[in-house]
Amino acid sequence: MKNKRHTYWTACWICAVVLSILTFTPLVSAGEAAPYIAGIPHALWAGILVTIGFIVLTYVGSRVHPMAEEEGDQ
Amino acid sequence: MITWLWITGAIYLGVLVFLTIVSRRKNRSTADYVLAGSNIGLFVGLLTYAATLFSAFTLMGMPDFFRTHGVGAWIFLAVSDGAQIFLIIWFGIPLRRRAKEMGFRGTASLLSALYENRWAGYIYLAGIFLFLVPYVAVQIRGLAIFLEAIYPGALPAWGWSVGIMIVMLAYGVLGGLRAVIAADAFQGVILLVATWIVGIACVHALGGVSSMFARVEAVDPALLSVPGPDGLFSIQFLLASFLAVMLLPATQPQLTTRLIIMRSTRTMKRMAVAIGCFVMLVLLPVVAIGMYGAVQYPEATTRDFLASVLLFDRPDVVAAVVVIGLLAAAMSTADSQIFALGTELTSLLSGDERTVLLASKAAIGVFGLFSLLFSLLSSDQLVLLALVSFAGTSLLGPMVLAGVFSRRPPGTVVLGATVLGLLIFLGSLVGVVPSQVGPMRLDLLLLLTIGAVTLASALYQHRHPKPAVAAERPYV
């Protein structure tokens, strides 16, 4: 179980690093306003997606982090 | 509008007084006073962290960033905040374990213990003093000048500054961290409500989301892409900001403390996810406020734009709530920073409980007065220090991370690299050292270099363990 947690956590932070790198590529930091989604320009909707991605990764990371809960935790 | 301001202001102050009295009654020891009993639940933890993170810059600086530099401002702050909440999990869990093993009175004393070198604590303290006090001072000064301009004749700027500081010191010194946290939670709600009221009004005025961006495009299409009309959001600028903001839980004591005083690690993890949602909730309406400014006030000065969008274009009662929101945003960050500075200093002192408690209160008062004095006598150098506050404290990041994550006390080379980095950075601020090295920003280069030196030192120590290590710390 602990090994699995290590694997999941490693996958999680690798995803976070990849997401961070993507932020600084034209995929997110776009030099063009198009393509729009629901009227929202590319850099903004891509940035919102990256932020949501970090929230999801944080949630998953908080579930799979290998370090045991401290004593007294509920 | 003045009448509404007095009414909402009186309610606001009344709630702060009530929270201070309740908090003061609950304080039974120095640990209660300094660490709020280390028993903060999810909801209050979320609001105090968020209110501390989002300063007056959220309601004043960010809308202007969106207005003048475009949608790249989202990447500048919201994406960086997203990375920060992931760091809370990655760094916060081992941090709590270290704090439990070594005892926690403040980050400075924890670092001294982790490095087995008291200079680690002193360097950390010097770093945060250097960059946090100007930040507090400039924030109070900016807000005071703004309030003086929009309420001419009510109070001079120095009067607003003194008033803000007296209120902050009153509940901070009297009620301790518990009062600061309760006030933050209350102020976090006000900040959220104020941004949404103004944000919805702005979207409505521009005919909906799609129409809003179409109208912005008609004004200046460069506002809808990166790096923006003036080229501010270059990849280097965004990367340097990303690293500085991401590292905040490790480099700013008021945030580090909030990770440790959560009721349990599980509560801290949930808080991290909740902060991510709060970031989205606060910053989405700020986009609309900025876009509204780009359409309606493209040529206005920052002050005229803010006065119009936040106050003059709103009904009086809403404008009064927004002013309280501005005060709340500034005070909830500044109070935590002043309190943290005071308690970090006294965490390095030894003595009986009563002496340490008195010293904490005195230190908080002294740092508050320092900040007030600086805000009244604000100079260009001080403003410069405040502007680079996050970049400055980020240079402490590798040192803090190495202390928390290393198996054994990190080498003194890490401390040396941090001091050297801080000195070079200060040199660049006063013009002795160039702020650009070839094509690279100096702040980014320094952070990456200190990080590389720290990593190399950790690897060297790992491969060349000292023969007589009595009790190696468990790996985290």
Q: How far is B203 from chain A (nearest CA, A)?
A: 13
Mean per-residue pLDDT for B213-227?
93
Put simply, whether B229 touches A (Cβ < 8 Å) is no
B74, A46 Cβ separation under 8 angstroms: no
Distance separating alpha carbons of residues B349 and B228, to the nearest angstrom: 49
pTM score = 0.88
Residues of A in contact with B444 (CB under 8 A): none
Q: Which residues contact B8 (CB under 8 A, 6 or more apart)?
A: B317, B320, B321, B323, B324
Express each pLDDT in A10-52 by its tens digit.
999 999 999 999 999 999 888 888 899 999 999 999 999 999 9
Give the rounded percent of residues in chain B with a pLDDT score beyond 90: 41
The verdict on a CB contact (< 8 Å) between A69 and B265 is yes
pLDDT, residue B244, reads 92
Q: How far is B100 from chain A (nearest CA, A)?
A: 9
Residues of A in contact with B240 (CB under 8 A): none
Put simply, whether A34 touches B (Cβ < 8 Å) is no
Residues of B in contact with A45 (CB under 8 A): none
The verdict on a CB contact (< 8 Å) between B238 and A70 is no
Examine the pLDDT at B307 and tell me if it is beyond 70.
yes
Put simply, whether A1 touches B (Cβ < 8 Å) is no
Mean per-residue pLDDT for B410-426?
94
Examine the pLDDT at B223 and tell me if it is beyond 80.
yes
Residues of A in contact with B214 (CB under 8 A): 39
Residues of A in contact with B50 (CB under 8 A): none
Distance separating alpha carbons of residues B343 and B407, to the nearest angstrom: 27
Tokens representing A64 are 């799979």
The verdict on a CB contact (< 8 Å) between A51 and B279 is yes
- State the DSSP H helix or E strand holding residue B436, giving kind and residue range, or none if neither: strand B436-437
Q: Which residues contact A9 (CB under 8 A, 6 or more apart)?
A: A61, A64, A65, A66
Residues of B in contact with A53 (CB under 8 A): 82
CA distances from residue B20 to B160, B171, B176, B329 in whole angstroms, order as listed = 21, 5, 8, 18
pLDDT class of B474 with cuts at 50, 70, 90:
very low
Distance separating alpha carbons of residues B432 and B400, to the nearest angstrom: 28
Mean pLDDT of chain B: 87
Which among B449, B419, B431 is positioned nearest to B130, based on CA atoms? B419
Q: How far is A40 from chain B (nearest CA, A)?
A: 7
Examine the pLDDT at B475 and tell me if it is beyond 50.
no
Terminal-residue alpha carbon distance, chain B:
56
Express each pLDDT in B22-48 by its tens digit.
888 887 777 777 777 778 889 888 888
pLDDT, residue B394, reads 94
pLDDT class of B249 with cuts at 50, 70, 90:
very high
pLDDT class of A74 with cuts at 50, 70, 90:
very low
Express each pLDDT in B264-299 by its tens digit.
999 999 999 999 999 999 999 999 999 999 999 998
The verdict on a CB contact (< 8 Å) between B209 and A29 is no
pLDDT, residue B29, reads 76
Examine the pLDDT at B351 and tell me if it is beyond 80.
no
Which among A10, A64, A43 is positioned nearest to B217, based on CA atoms? A43
Express each pLDDT in B444-455 by its tens digit.
999 999 999 999
The verdict on a CB contact (< 8 Å) between A44 and B96 is no
Q: How far is A58 from chain B (nearest CA, A)?
A: 5
Examine the pLDDT at B397 and tell me if it is beyond 90.
yes
Examine the pLDDT at B387 and tell me if it is beyond 70.
no
Residues of B in contact with A20 (CB under 8 A): 83, 242
Q: Choose, out of B65, B66, B69, B71, the residue to mutate when testing the contact with A (most A CBs < 10 Å).
A: B71
B325, B190 Cβ separation under 8 angstroms: yes
Distance separating alpha carbons of residues B181 and B173, to the nearest angstrom: 13
pLDDT class of B323 with cuts at 50, 70, 90:
confident
* Helix residue ranges per DSSP H, B311-441: 316-347, 353-376, 380-387, 389-394, 397-405, 412-429
The verdict on a CB contact (< 8 Å) between B89 and A61 is yes
Mean per-residue pLDDT for B155-168?
88
Q: Which of residues 50-69 of A touch B (CB under 8 A)?
A: 50-55, 57-59, 61-62, 65, 67, 69
Put simply, whether B209 touches A (Cβ < 8 Å) is yes
């270059």: which residue's tokens?
B234
pLDDT class of A71 with cuts at 50, 70, 90:
very low
